[in-house]
Structure formats: structure tokens, C-alpha cells
């Protein structure tokens, strides 16, 4: 099921619930014809429509995007992820049984920074980061205990758990995202550092978004924003990056909570003004915040709202070379690809997917939403380029 396109999943859950197209369309507030086009993969629904369909069908929105719901998750996608899960759950036992000498806090900090750098810049970021995360989790928890919860130890482990949340979210382990986001917040609060607390709040907001909780995400993001506002008068670029990052979370939460005009207002005013104070090419506290990232979020909101023409118009002016993060670059390309998917422009979809693969080929091994787009493309590709699409799908392991 994870590799099935959205339309096929909607149809599958509808049949499983023994619902007719008229009943589902009526309860979701769309026409029967629109539903039929969605199920035939002729149309990609906007996020609000997708959320309404999921609510009527009694599943999570993520289930209609090919991501296994947390409660139905049957296990990790690879052994390295299993090691990360084991470290998260049994770190105290592993720490006591570890005969190795604990790295110094400075050495541990360097290792965490290296993992963060790999996550943002390495084309093989999944394997690079998954290889080191289990030891980093165990060593960091042990360091917190043996260093009597020192500020440095708590700071480093909070930063580590923020990274872990990003990795788990991309791997579809949404059930664990909330756990690690909570740990990141708990350790950040022990430091008393308002910037680190804001960063942990930003991470928690993303976790709530990923778990289909836009109202909670919006509340968290706006409270985090309010806590930073008194510090902005003498604020550094780091302050404005975190402030702007929280506004971006609030914009996405507003969009997914059926308040697109508030989302647009947040992006055009406070987010834009904060981005001007930060400038391009920075990645303070992993937010990758700046003018280009704000523009990317504008495209995302319009795409999610089904305003495809406006999303593509905005995308024409986005220069992703300004972004110091592979994740932001590829995410933007996937949003643009989905816009073209809605227009049945499969050639443009293929072009953008190939651009993303050149940047980060491992996305096509680990991200089920991306693999789902390729699956749909295989079914819809015209004969003139169907062979190339099938070769692409075979290269990423979708065809036997």
C-alpha cells in the first residue's frame, strides 16, 4: 500500500468502508465527478480536500498519501532504522552495558554537528545519518546522566533530538516524532536558553503538523513566536531565523486548518520582514530561514490549497540555489511536481523528479510520498517517454 498513488488509496479505503462515490463526495463537500477524477489519478486533491476525505473515511491524511498510519505501522524500513528505534527505547540499558569510554562533551558536540551537516548537505544523507544516530543517542543520554544534566549536555542532546525528529519524519515514523520532539523540548527547557527553546518549539510544531494536528501546531508556533517577540528589538539573525521559522510553521498549520488567508498573511508580512533581517544562505538552528524559504512556503500553501496556477507562477521566481539545504531544495521540487501532476503534465512531473534525484537520490529509496509520485507516473506516462520512466522506476526499485 505505501507505494500506491493517492487516488487508488482513496478508492481502496472507500470500498473498505462500503461507501459509494456519491456518499463519499457528498460528505467531503466535493462533486462526484471530482472524486472520480481523484480516484482515477486524473486529479491530485488539495490538502483541505484530502483532509476532508480522510475524515469521512476514518483514516489519517497521511494514509492517503501512502504513509502508513502510526497505529498500523508494522516495523522499520531497514535495519539501521531498527537500531535507531532500539536506542530511543532502551538507551538507559544500552548505556549501562556500553564498555566504551564516553566521548567528551566537546567531541560529542562535534559528532552531532557532523551529523547535522550530513543531513542538510549529503546526497547519501539517510545512510550517513542513520549509521551514527544510535550511538549518538546512547552517548548523549549517558552524558546527560554522568555530567549531572549540565547545560552543555542538555543543549547538545536537545539539538540531537531535533535532528532525529527530522530524520524520522522523512522516514514516515510519525509515531516516534512526537516522542523525540518532546525530549528535545524537555532538555531545551533545562538550559533556560530562549533560542534553544524556540528551536525545540519549531521542531515540535513540525511534529504536530506531520501528525495531522494543525490546530495544535498553530498554537505551539504562535506561542513560541510571542515568547521571542520581546527579544527582537536587539535581536540577532538567529533570533529572526527562529521567529521566522515559527511563523512559517504557523502558516502551514493555518493552511492545513482551512484558513489559507491567514497563512498568506503570515507569509507576506511577519515572515517576509523577518527574512529580510536574516538574508540568504543561512541555516541558523536548522531552520534554513531566509527570503527563498519564505517563497518556497508560498508555493507550498498555494499548491496545498489547489491554486495551481498561482503556485506555478510563484515557483517561476524561486531560485533554489540560494538555499543551503538539500531537503529544502528537493521538497520544493516535489511541490512543483505535484502542481504539474494536478495538471496532468506528466512530462513536467518527470523533469522535476529527475532534478530532485540528481540532488538526493536516496529520497527515492526512503520517502514513500516521492515513490508514490513515480508509481503514478509509470501508470500515466505516454508511450513517447514511458520507457525512460520505467527505467527510472526500476533504478529506484519500484519495478521488479
CA dist 353 and 322 (Å) reads: 19
**Domain range for 309:** 211-324
Q: Has residue 124 been placed in a domain?
A: yes
Structurally, how many domains does the chain consist of? 4
Q: Has residue 69 been placed in a domain?
A: no
Same domain flag for 291 and 217: yes
Residue 11 belongs to a domain with what CATH number?
1.10.260.40
pLDDT at 325: 94
Last residue within a domain, chosen from 324, 356, 388: 324
Q: Has residue 197 been placed in a domain?
A: no
Q: What is the pLDDT of residues 29-61, one digit of tens each?
A: 888 888 888 888 767 777 778 888 888 888 877
Q: Has residue 354 been placed in a domain?
A: yes
Q: Has residue 42 been placed in a domain?
A: yes
Which of 193, 81, 93, 197 has its CA nearest to residue 142? 93
Cβ-contact 120, 76 below 8 angstroms: no
Q: Has residue 70 been placed in a domain?
A: no
Same domain flag for 292 and 215: yes
Q: Taking residues 161-188, what's their average pLDDT?
A: 93
Q: Which three cell numbers stand for residue 45?
A: 486533491
Q: Has residue 73 been placed in a domain?
A: no
Same domain flag for 135 and 217: no
Cβ-contact 5, 380 below 8 angstroms: no
- Report the percent of the chain where pLDDT is more than 70: 94
User: 382: buried, middle or exposed (CB in 10 Å: 19+, 13-18, 0-12)?
Assistant: exposed
Q: Taking residues 330-339, what's their average pLDDT?
A: 94
Same domain flag for 174 and 230: no
Residue with the bigger pLDDT between 189 and 303: it is 189
Q: What is the pLDDT of residues 123-157, one digit of tens each?
A: 999 999 999 999 999 999 999 998 999 999 999 99
CA dist 299 and 312 (Å) reads: 7
Same domain flag for 305 and 346: no
Q: Which three cell numbers stand for residue 108?
A: 560529542
Stated pTM of the model: 0.85
pLDDT at 67: 57
- pLDDT band for position 26 (50/70/90)? confident
DSSP 8-state symbol, 59: S
Cβ-contact 303, 335 below 8 angstroms: yes
Same domain flag for 244 and 312: yes
Cβ-contact 164, 136 below 8 angstroms: no
Does the structure show a pLDDT above 80 at 245?
A: yes
Using alpha carbons, list the distances in angstroms from residue 132 to 44, 84, 107, 138.
37, 9, 14, 11
pLDDT at 70: 43
Q: Among the ranges 35-44, 89-98, 139-148, 182-191, which has the highest mean pLDDT value?
A: 182-191
Q: Has residue 200 been placed in a domain?
A: no
CA dist 205 and 203 (Å) reads: 5
CA dist 165 and 390 (Å) reads: 33
- pLDDT band for position 400 (50/70/90)? low
Same domain flag for 304 and 223: yes
Same domain flag for 312 and 350: no
Amino acid at each position: 500500500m505505501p507505494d500506491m498513488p493517492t487516488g487508488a488509496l482513496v478508492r481502496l479505503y472507500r470500498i473498505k468502508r462500503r461507501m459509494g462515490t456519491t456518499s463519499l463526495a457528498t460528505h467531503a463537500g466535493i462533486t462526484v465527478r471530482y472524486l472520480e477524477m481523484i480516484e482515477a489519478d486524473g486529479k491530485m486533491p488539495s490538502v483541505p480536500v484530502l483532509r476532508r476525505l480522510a475524515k469521512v473515511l476514518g483514516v489519517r491524511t497521511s494514509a492517503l498519501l501512502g504513509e502508513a498510519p502510526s497505529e498500523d505501522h508494522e516495523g522499520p524500513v531497514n535495519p539501521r532504522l531498527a537500531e535507531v528505534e532500539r536506542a530511543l527505547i532502551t538507551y538507559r540499558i544500552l548505556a549501562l552495558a556500553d564498555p566504551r569510554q564516553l566521548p567528551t562533551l566537546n567531541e560529542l558536540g562535534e559528532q552531532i554537528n557532523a551529523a547535522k551537516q550530513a543531513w542538510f548537505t549529503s546526497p547519501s544523507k539517510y545512510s550517513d545519518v542513520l549509521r551514527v544516530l544510535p550511538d549518538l543517542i546512547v552517548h548523549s543520554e549517558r552524558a546527560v546522566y554522568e555530567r549531572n544534566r549540565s547545560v552543555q549536555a542538555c543543549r547538545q542532546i536537545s539539538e540531537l533530538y531535533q535532528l532525529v525528529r527530522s530524520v524520522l519524519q522523512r522516514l514516515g515514523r510519525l509515531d516516534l516524532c512526537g516522542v523525540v520532539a518532546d525530549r528535545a523540548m524537555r532538555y531545551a527547557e533545562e538550559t533556560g536558553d530562549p533560542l534553544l527553546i524556540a528551536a525545540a518549539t519549531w521542531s515540535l510544531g513540525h511534529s504536530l503538523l506531520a501528525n495531522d494536528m494543525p490546530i495544535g501546531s498553530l498554537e505551539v508556533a504562535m506561542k513560541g513566536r510571542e515568547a521571542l517577540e520581546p527579544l527582537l528589538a536587539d535581536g540577532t539573525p538567529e533570533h529572526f531565523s527562529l521567529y521566522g521559522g515559527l511563523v512559517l510553521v504557523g502558516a502551514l498549520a493555518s493552511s492545513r486548518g482551512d484558513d489559507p488567508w491567514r497563512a498568506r498573511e503570515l507569509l507576506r508580512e511577519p515572515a517576509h520582514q523577518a527574512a529580510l533581517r536574516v538574508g540568504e544562505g543561512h541555516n541558523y538552528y536548522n531552520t534554513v530561514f531566509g527570503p527563498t524559504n519564505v517563497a518556497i512556503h508560498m508555493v507550498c500553501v498555494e499548491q496545498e490549497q489547489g491554486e495551481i496556477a498561482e503556485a506555478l507562477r510563484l515557483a517561476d521566481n524561486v531560485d533554489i540555489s540560494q538555499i543551503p539545504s538539500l531537503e529544502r531544495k528537493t521538497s520544493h521540487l516535489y511541490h512543483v511536481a505535484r502542481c504539474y501532476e494536478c495538471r496532468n503534465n506528466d512530462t513536467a512531473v518527470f523533469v522535476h523528479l529527475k532534478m530532485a534525484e540528481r540532488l538526493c537520490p536516496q529520497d527515492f529509496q526512503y520517502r514513500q510520498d516521492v515513490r508514490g509520485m513515480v508509481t503514478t507516473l509509470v501508470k500515466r506516462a505516454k508511450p513517447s517517454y514511458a520507457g525512460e520512466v520505467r527505467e527510472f522506476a526500476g533504478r529506484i526499485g519500484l519495478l521488479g
